[in-house]
């Protein structure tokens, strides 16, 4: 029997060695594939843990196993500065993509401002969706010519007015110090006749409210809730000022390096992510107001027809100033025409 040991033990050792080598080759191949997988660094000003951030994280998991080898996604939430800074980082390839609002997208091309920077132009999400889909081919073509690929469109609720003192009419807003985005200087210039704009980066909102550097802020309710704005302001005017509309964009330089199969897979997945983000943000918009009322003692001022009429009259005066400066004149006129046609079927008319 001794001879069997001398024969069988070396055979067993040989088999074990082959298995170890096979596993090592497999691990090396996996590591090599991971290293070769393209990396997209993507930024957003949305807070960590928000539904935006969660949706992007889920999307990133799916991207890893996308056709053609997949893509690794690193998400930077509220850590790359404001949206103008994020766009600058994309231009120098520090970032390969971002989830931007119209303020950030306007740093690339101003055409998209028509979806967000026309106060009180839209009455409902149905109108927002209709206008966006009508303009979408044109807007995406413009962005592609500027070196950016639009993967999907999203939105973040209606901007409402939060303030430390009650607001009902435009006159109540006049003396207040209001947060204004650094990426929107022309709008700041136009609206300074109606309040005192204070230009800040988004990450300075809470501290500026707490020090009374600002005492009012136009912001979507669900983002306001995430930032605990209600604890610092105490009042909200339930007026639909503008919808916050934006998109997920990636640089053409990064996109064009991907295989065709991967591009198709990411586009298809992006379309689903956009629907998810829009649905989540719209559901959270009204729910956030209830939460702030219950947990942050927020007092909500309803908007009566008389109050709304005061605001409509005020904003009508700004539209000639917005047209051609904040929003390109041709796109401004196209939005008016689309809304007029859309409302024609329901008995409405464009403002």
Query: What is the residue range of 74's domain?
Result: 38-344
φ, ψ dihedrals at 249, nearest 5°: -120, 150
Number of H helices, E strands in the chain: 14, 10
pTM as predicted: 0.81
Angle, CA 262 vertex, CA 261 and CA 265 arms, to 5°? 90
Q: Where are the beta strands (DSSP E) in 221-317?
A: 235-237, 243-251, 299-301
Q: What is the structure's pLDDT at 350?
A: 58
Residue 156 · residue 282 · CB < 8 Å: no
The whole-angstrom separation of Cα 209 and Cα 163 is: 9
Q: Is residue 119 part of a domain?
A: yes
Domain at 320, CATH number: 3.40.190.170
Number of domains in the chain: 1
With respect to residue 66, please indicate whether it lies within any of the assigned structural domains. Answer: yes
Tell me whether residue 340 is in a domain: yes
Domain membership flag for residue 19: no
Q: How far is CA 193 from CA 72, 114, 221, 317, in A?
A: 47, 21, 25, 11
Digit-by-digit pLDDT tens for the chain (351 residues) are 444 444 444 444 445 444 444 444 544 444 444 457 899 999 998 878 888 889 999 999 999 999 989 999 999 988 888 888 999 999 999 999 999 999 899 999 999 999 999 999 999 999 999 999 999 999 999 999 999 999 999 998 999 999 999 999 999 999 999 998 766 677 777 778 888 889 887 778 888 998 999 999 999 998 888 888 889 999 999 999 999 999 999 999 999 999 999 999 999 999 999 999 999 989 888 899 999 999 999 999 999 999 999 999 888 888 898 999 889 999 999 999 999 999 996 544 455
Helix (H, G, I), strand (E, B) or coil at 257: coil
* Residues 59, 268: Cα–Cα separation, whole Å: 11
Contact call for residues 254 and 72 (beta carbons, < 8 A):
no
- Asked if residue 172 is part of any domain, the answer here is yes
Alpha-carbon distance of 262 to 323, in angstroms, equals 40
Has residue 1 been placed in a domain? no
Whether the Cβ atoms of residue 224 and residue 300 lie closer than 8 Å to each other: no
> Cβ atoms within 10 A of the Cβ of 10, count?
10
Instruction: Output the pLDDT for position 7.
Output: 42
Q: Tell me, yes or no, whether 5 lies in a domain.
A: no
């Amino acid at each position: 029997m001794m001879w069997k040991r001398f024969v069988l033990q070396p055979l067993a050792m040989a088999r074990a060695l082959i298995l170890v080598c096979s596993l090592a080759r497999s691990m090396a191949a996996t590591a090599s594939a991971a290293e070769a997988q393209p990396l997209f660094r993507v930024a957003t000003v949305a807070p960590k843990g928000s539904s935006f951030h969660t949706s992007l994280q889920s999307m990133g998991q799916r991207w890893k196993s996308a056709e053609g080898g997949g893509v690794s996604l690193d998400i930077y939430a509220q850590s790359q500065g404001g949206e103008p800074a994020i766009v600058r980082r994309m231009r120098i390839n520090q970032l390969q993509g971002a989830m931007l609002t119209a303020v950030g997208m306007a740093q690339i091309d101003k055409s998209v401002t028509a979806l967000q920077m026309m106060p009180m132009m839209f009455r409902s999400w149905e109108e927002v969706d209709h206008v966006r889909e009508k303009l979408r081919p044109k807007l995406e073509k413009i962005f592609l010519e500027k070196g950016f690929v639009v993967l999907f469109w999203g939105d973040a609720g209606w901007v409402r007015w939060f303030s430390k003192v009650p607001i009902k009419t435009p006159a109540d807003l006049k003396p207040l110090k209001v947060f204004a985005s650094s990426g929107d200087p022309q709008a700041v210039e136009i609206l300074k006749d109606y309040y005192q704009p204070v230009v800040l980066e988004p990450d300075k909102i809470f501290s500026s409210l707490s020090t009374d550097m600002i005492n009012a802020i136009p912001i979507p309710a669900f983002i306001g809730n995430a930032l605990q704005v209600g604890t610092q302001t105490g009042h909200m005017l339930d007026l639909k000022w503008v919808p916050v509309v934006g998109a997920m964009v990636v640089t053409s330089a990064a996109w064009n390096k991907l295989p065709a199969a991967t591009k198709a897979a990411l586009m298809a997945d992006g379309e689903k992510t956009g629907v998810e983000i829009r649905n989540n943000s719209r559901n959270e918009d009204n729910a956030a107001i209830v939460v702030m009322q219950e947990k942050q003692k927020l007092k909500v001022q309803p908007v009566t027809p008389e109050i709304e009429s005061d605001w409509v009259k005020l904003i009508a005066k700004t539209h000639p100033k917005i047209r051609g400066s904040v929003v390109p004149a041709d796109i401004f006129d196209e939005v008016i025409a689309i809304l007029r046609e859309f409302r024609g079927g329901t008995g409405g008319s464009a403002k």
